[in-house]
Amino acid sequence: MTSLPSIRAIQSFVAAGRKASFLEAAAQLQLTPSAISHQIRLMEEDLGEKLFHRIGRNVSLTEIGERYHRDLSEALSMIEQATDEVCRRNSVDVLSVGCASSLASLWLMPRLPRFEELYPSIEIRLLSTSDPAKLSDGSVDVDICYGSVPRLGSIAAEEFPLETIVVACSPEVANGERPIRKPSDLVGHTLIKSEQTLYSWQQWAKDHGLAIDVNRGSRFRDAFMAIATAVEGRGVCLESYRLLQRDVERGNLVLPFGMTGPNLRCHTLTYVRSRLRSEKVNAFKQWLENVWLEDTASAEMRARG
């Protein structure tokens, strides 16, 4: 098997060939000129070929030296590039975020590119789950839970601002054979239900003094499935506008009764208090608050307009 030159020898040879000087190559690599000369002489002995013409202190590549220099320069460049990529990858700080499934898929994920653009050195690892993550075991740095969360010792719990619960359906359902213009128009329509909810169709019917068959229609564990079913025109859903916002803005869903509905605290940000000193946790928390407030302002404008 052919004996390969060391990286130090390759660096010495490439630098000397580029500078046409052992002295300048030595200065670049922070070595002595004699060390450069020694590395290159060993290469020449191993190869059995002269790589440089030496005339006094002047050096120039031989014909075979030029070809070898071209190939080794390219190879060294590839090694340096690959090493830089690994180093950059190792310098990325990973932030593990747990998030309630529906909020993760319908609200957080579409907005994460904005965070990544602002903080390129922080890489988000998103864990979507219907159950609260265990902060104590270090599986996540922060967790966005559905509903309220008790404050337990080292665990901080910050409730998100109020969310408006609204009735939504596809434009085809809203303007179909039985158009929906007022709450009583929902009688006879298919109601899509989420099992994980803070405000049910039973409560909605009671608040509006209506006798509606709330047992009729599809039932899903998570809101994102109920919303997807509504987009398909298979019924009417009752969900947080925060989760519906994207589909409403795209015209996939309409709000027959506008932004009228109860305002509830639906989500809570939790984290280990000591981790707030971490730059990545603090950056994500601040960004989350800013984006949420921006969306709240957008929802308020819609309600007024």
Q: Is the pLDDT of residue 87 over 80?
A: no
Domain limits of the chain?
7-90, 95-160+268-299, 163-264
Give pLDDT tens digits for 133-163.
Answer: 567 666 789 999 998 877 777 788 899 999 9
Q: Is the pLDDT of residue 92 over 70?
A: no
Residue of 199 and 151 predicted with greater confidence: 199
Which pLDDT value is given to residue 143?
92
Q: CA–CA separation, 270 vs 149, rounded Å?
A: 8
305 — pLDDT class (breaks 50, 70, 90)? low
Give me the chain's average pLDDT, please: 88
Query: Phi and psi (nearest 5°) for 221?
Result: -70, -45
What CATH number has the domain spanning 163-264? 3.40.190.10
- Give the pLDDT mean for 96-102: 93
15-24, 251-260, 271-280: range with lowest mean pLDDT: 271-280
Give pLDDT tens digits for 119-138.
Answer: 998 999 998 876 665 676 66
Which pLDDT value is given to residue 304?
66
112 — pLDDT class (breaks 50, 70, 90)? very high
Give pLDDT tens digits for 226-272.
Answer: 999 999 999 999 999 999 999 999 999 999 999 999 999 999 999 88
72-86, 187-201, 216-230, 263-277: range with lowest mean pLDDT: 72-86
What CATH number has the domain spanning 95-160+268-299? 3.40.190.10
Q: Is the pLDDT of residue 187 over 80?
A: yes
Which pLDDT value is given to residue 254?
97
Query: Top-level CATH class of 7-90?
Result: mainly alpha
Would 95-160+268-299 and 163-264 be classified into the same CATH topology? yes
Percent of the residues in the chain that have a pLDDT greater than 90, as a whole number: 61
